[in-house]
Amino acid sequence: MELLRLATAGSVDDGKSTLIGRLLYDSKSIFEDQLEAIERTSESRGDQYVNLALLTDGLRAEREQGITIDVAYRYFATPRRTFIIADTPGHIQHTRNMVTGASTADLVLIIVDARHGVVEQTRRHALLASLLRIPHLVLCVNKMDLVDFEEKVFNEIKSDFRDYAARLEIPDLTIIPISALNGDNVVDRSKEMTWYEGSPLLRHLEEVHIASDRNLIDVRFPVQLVIRPISDDSHRDYRGYGGQVAGGVIEVGDEVIVLPSGFKTKVTGIDGPGGPIEHAIPPQSVVIRLEDDLDISRGDMICRPHNRPHSGQDLSAMLCWLAEDGLQVGKKYALKHTTRQARAMVTALQYRLDVNTSHRDREAETLSLNEIGRVDLRCTVPLFYDEYRRNRTTGSFILVDEATNITVAAGMALSPPNL
């Protein structure tokens, strides 16, 4: 059975919590004690129906302050797939949350209210999904019951959104008319919208083809640990390199090159969690054994001699700023990329991207919380990276403030700068 990671974007007003509650409820992933708890709460609040939105209700700290702190994770399974939902709050100030929740997602679910159609927030969410290269986007046009299940309303929203999405990089787009409150087209096909010929949402989530989203072409193996049992007699000669495959298919017998040293050698064995295997693919965590005894350490990169990542101390990237204290051009930050640590300085802010209008402000001097921009960086050591659009693992990095240790930015590498 496959695992699908999805992120949801939209505000409470769009019925996002109700939709998630409905998915969990109709797929029978809600336990009786959890249901009883929300029935009690719904009753005491005077709701007319069991408020499924309460299933995703957060912490007391959030209720007291009327805020949503950040991403909450939910789990459900059907006989065909298992699902992880990263539920991200959709308010304007929370670009940070969506970026966090969507960073590992295969699919993003954007929800709009059928009465309001595509609004600024919808465009922002679609732009972020495109920036983060989430391979599949589903737009749920919710509250169709409040527009009398009219096909015309749906078609207008559909064409509006398609026009906008055409300007972005969204490889796979599906648009579904639903009513989360009544369950129309969520798990079961709607009896009110017979004009809709596509799949209900859950069916789509079960069937969307995700196996091709992995990069199986470029072999990338960031070395995480050197595994060398020194004290153990029976394994004294064992030396292996632990890591998670970030790209390509690595096979026993492959000729490989280790960066930064540039030594060429051969893969003599691959040990998976269950024992030796013949080949490894993303996202497997394995140990690779090599023919030659080389000086390899954490942060090195194993790849094929004729397919190497970019290598350099200078890179261009899109940065999403995640901290209260804004970006300072020229300040030094700690950088983490794959298993490699470096220090980095933003040497130039090329532009700030207005996530609502896609306008590029080339006069901008800083990035504040939730802002996105294109920057040039210089690192203390070379990074071995791919463009984020080619590989989300070897193309991503984070920046950390060296004084507070807070993660301040998410970075997505672009093609190397022309120096």
Instruction: Please report, as residue ranges, which positions from 236 to 265 form the binding site for other proteins (by CB under 8 A).
Output: 238, 242-244, 249
For the record, the structure tokens of 148 come out as 């009398």
Query: In this chain, which stretch among 117-125, 200-208, 276-284, 351-359 interacts with other proteins, using CB under 8 A?
Result: 276-284
Contacts (CB under 8 A) with other proteins, residues 24-53: 31-34, 37
Minimum distance from residue 55 beta carbon to other proteins (Å): 9
- Of the candidate residues 3, 119, 146, 348, the single one contacting other proteins (CB under 8 A): 3
Minimum distance from residue 349 beta carbon to other proteins (Å): 20
Minimum distance from residue 333 beta carbon to other proteins (Å): 11
For the record, the structure tokens of 402 come out as 């060296």
For the record, the structure tokens of 293 come out as 């005894």
- Of the candidate residues 27, 174, 182, 224, the single one contacting other proteins (CB under 8 A): 224
Minimum distance from residue 360 beta carbon to other proteins (Å): 23
Query: In this chain, which stretch among 119-127, 147-155, 274-282, 303-311 interacts with other proteins, using CB under 8 A?
Result: 274-282
Contacts (CB under 8 A) with other proteins, residues 320-349: 322, 334, 336-337, 339
Contact track, other proteins, 57-86, x by CB under 8 A: xxxxx-------xxxxxxx-x---xx-x--
Minimum distance from residue 192 beta carbon to other proteins (Å): 30
Neighbours of 63 (CB within 10 A): 11
Burial pattern 147-170, b for ≥16 Cβ within 10 A else e, equals: bebeeebbeebbeebeeebeebeb
Q: Which is nearer to other proteins, 235 or 360 (CB)?
A: 235
Q: Which is nearer to other proteins, 155 or 244 (CB)?
A: 244
Nearest one of 337, 254, 264 to 294, comparing CA atoms: 264
To the nearest 10°, report the CA torsion of 168, 315, 94, 170.
20
Q: Any contact of residue 304 with other proteins (CB under 8 A)?
A: no
The whole-angstrom separation of Cα 127 and Cα 145 is 28
For the record, the structure tokens of 171 come out as 């490889």
Rg of the chain in Å (alpha carbons): 24
Nearest one of 283, 247, 254, 259 to 270, comparing CA atoms: 254
- DSSP letter assigned to residue 164: H
Nearest one of 96, 92, 145 to 121, comparing CA atoms: 92
- DSSP bridge partners of 3: 82
- Of the candidate residues 7, 8, 15, 96, the single one contacting other proteins (CB under 8 A): 96
